[in-house]
Amino acid sequence: MAGGGCEEKKEAGPPPKPPEVEVSDVVERDVPIYEEWVAQLNGQVNADITPKVQGYLLKRDYQEGFFVHKGQLLYEIDPRPFVASLDQAKAQVAVAVAQQTEAENNVTRDRPLAEQHAIPQKQLDTDISNLAATTAQVNAAKASMVQSELNLSWTKVVSPIDGLAGVSNSNVGDLVGTATKMTTVSQVNPIRAYFNISESDYLGRAQAIAHLVRGGRAQGKPIPIEFIQTNGTTFPAKGKIVLVNREIASQTGTIQIAAEFPNKDGILRPGGFGNVRIETGTNEHALLVPQAAVIEVQSMYQVVVVSPENKAMFRPVKVGERVGPNWIVTEGLKPGEKIIVQGFMKVRQGTPVTPKPYVVASEAEGN
């Protein structure tokens, strides 16, 4: 009975395993410092296409929004009035040449007669004056004919540059003249990004800028300039500074600068906005952690550090700029410390953890 009354005690289960977390080392390295300015794109040359003669538009010979070449025909103005004007100018030249020939014959005939005193000297003088006058009339008539030829040639309106042709403001049948802006052709390869920097930023780089505008080469390797498009995409081609304005704007206290970018395919268009990003220095011995490891609570930042005893320790930090997928930590961490990137929601202060290396998502997918 005594033996039967004893109850066997149940064995206690094994303690739970510490949660697995993914950790990454605090990395120390030199990080380039970038500054960005809002910029607007524009062509180096924006040619307003304006006819040099007045007339009725007969034809548009280009496709709106497409590239055109220098000398390519864009518009045709009715040439018939100018053909008639040229014919009239040619007739006036013929009349003037006939009068000049007559005056030459008179001088040739009367010169020996005047030498023989057969006619008065005054008559020869009159003949010579008439010859000079008719010669001048010939020159004037020929000049008028050249002008008529130019006017006729100007009925064909061509592009003065290689560039991108805009929407046409003139339609077939319109009366166009020297004040008519028919369209605009913009040079977009290369294209310029205009931006303004403060006077203090300019003065901090005045020596390098002065060396540049005098035609000198920058010391060391050239500084690449990037253009960040409105959708956040970085334009593939790097640019260079080509313009520093002559004055600082009194109203804004800024100076205008232009960077030039190769734009062979015309992806960047005049009028577009974006940001110009320039490397302005180096942050030496910066501490970097993955952005996913930083916890933000009411504008305060903290990370979870794994101690040498594999315990989770919450620690407040101060952060700086983002660098790609990482964040610069300016205070609160030391190089080589391990921080939790994935799994910090499963731990509390002092919780034991089982750390394993953090794998970036792209690398994990590749494996």
Task: Using the predicted structure, report yes or no on whether residue 351 has a pLDDT greater than 70.
Answer: yes
Among the residue ranges 202-211, 227-236, 306-315, the one predicted with the least confidence is 202-211
Question: How far apart, in Å, are the Cα atoms of 283 and each of 34, 216, 262, 323?
Answer: 10, 28, 30, 11
Split at pLDDT 50, 70, 90, the class of 209 is confident
Task: Using the predicted structure, report yes or no on whether residue 364 has a pLDDT greater than 50.
Answer: no
Query: Measured between alpha carbons, how far is 224 from 240 in angstroms, rounded to an integer?
Result: 7
Residue 170 has φ and ψ, to the nearest 5°, of -120, 140
Which pair of structure tokens corresponds to residue 144?
A: 């008028």
Look at residue 102 in the predicted model and tell me its pLDDT.
Answer: 92
Of residues 205 and 8, more confidence is placed in 205
CB neighbours of 88 closer than 8 A, spacing ≥ 6?
148
Extents of the domains making up the chain? 20-30+284-366, 34-45+187-282, 49-184
Split at pLDDT 50, 70, 90, the class of 357 is very high
- The arithmetic mean of pLDDT across residues 52-61, rounded, is 96
Split at pLDDT 50, 70, 90, the class of 5 is very low
**Tens-digit pLDDT profile for residues 61-85:** 999 999 999 999 999 999 999 999 9
Q: What is the dihedral of CA 79, 80, 81, 86, to 10 degrees?
A: 80
CB neighbours of 150 closer than 8 A, spacing ≥ 6?
none
With beta carbons less than 8 A apart as the criterion, state whether 290 and 258 touch. Answer: no
**Tens-digit pLDDT profile for residues 266-321:** 899 999 999 999 887 788 889 999 999 999 888 899 999 999 999 999 999 999 88
| 64: number of Cβ within 10 Å | 10
What per-residue string of b and e applies to 202-238 under the rule 16 or more CB within 10 Å gives b?
A: beeeeeebeebeeeeeeeeeeeebbbbeeeeeebebe
Split at pLDDT 50, 70, 90, the class of 1 is very low
Query: Measured between alpha carbons, how far is 360 from 367 in angstroms, rounded to an integer?
Result: 11
Task: Using the predicted structure, report yes or no on whether residue 22 has a pLDDT greater than 70.
Answer: yes
Split at pLDDT 50, 70, 90, the class of 359 is confident
Query: Measured between alpha carbons, how far is 36 from 39 in angstroms, rounded to an integer?
Result: 9
Exposure of 116 by Cβ count < 10 A (0-12 exposed, 13-18 middle, 19+ buried)?
Answer: exposed
- The arithmetic mean of pLDDT across residues 114-137, rounded, is 91
Query: Measured between alpha carbons, how far is 74 from 154 in angstroms, rounded to an integer?
Result: 12
CATH 2.40.30.170 correct for 34-45+187-282: yes
- The arithmetic mean of pLDDT across residues 217-239, rounded, is 81
Task: Using the predicted structure, report yes or no on whether residue 367 has a pLDDT greater than 50.
Answer: no
Task: Using the predicted structure, report yes or no on whether residue 44 has a pLDDT greater than 80.
Answer: yes
Query: Measured between alpha carbons, how far is 199 from 224 in angstroms, rounded to an integer?
Result: 22
| Cis status, amide bond into 112, omega within 30 of 0 | no
Percent of the chain's residues with pLDDT above 70 = 91
With beta carbons less than 8 A apart as the criterion, state whether 56 and 111 touch. Answer: no
In CATH, the number for domain 20-30+284-366 is 2.40.420.20
Of residues 205 and 183, more confidence is placed in 183
Look at residue 9 in the predicted model and tell me its pLDDT.
Answer: 53
Task: Using the predicted structure, report yes or no on whether residue 157 has a pLDDT greater than 90.
Answer: yes
Exposure of 41 by Cβ count < 10 A (0-12 exposed, 13-18 middle, 19+ buried)?
Answer: buried
Task: Using the predicted structure, report yes or no on whether residue 259 has a pLDDT greater than 80.
Answer: yes
Average pLDDT along the chain? 88
Q: What kind of architecture, by CATH, is found in domain 49-184? A: Beta Barrel (2.40)
Give me the DSSP letters along 241-286.
Answer: EEEEEEEE-TTT-EEEEEEEE--TT--S-TT-EEEEEEEEEEEEEE
DSSP state of 118: S
Query: Measured between alpha carbons, how far is 286 from 31 in angstroms, rounded to an integer?
Result: 6
Split at pLDDT 50, 70, 90, the class of 221 is low
Give me the DSSP letters along 155-176.
Answer: TEEE-SSSEEE---S--TT-EE
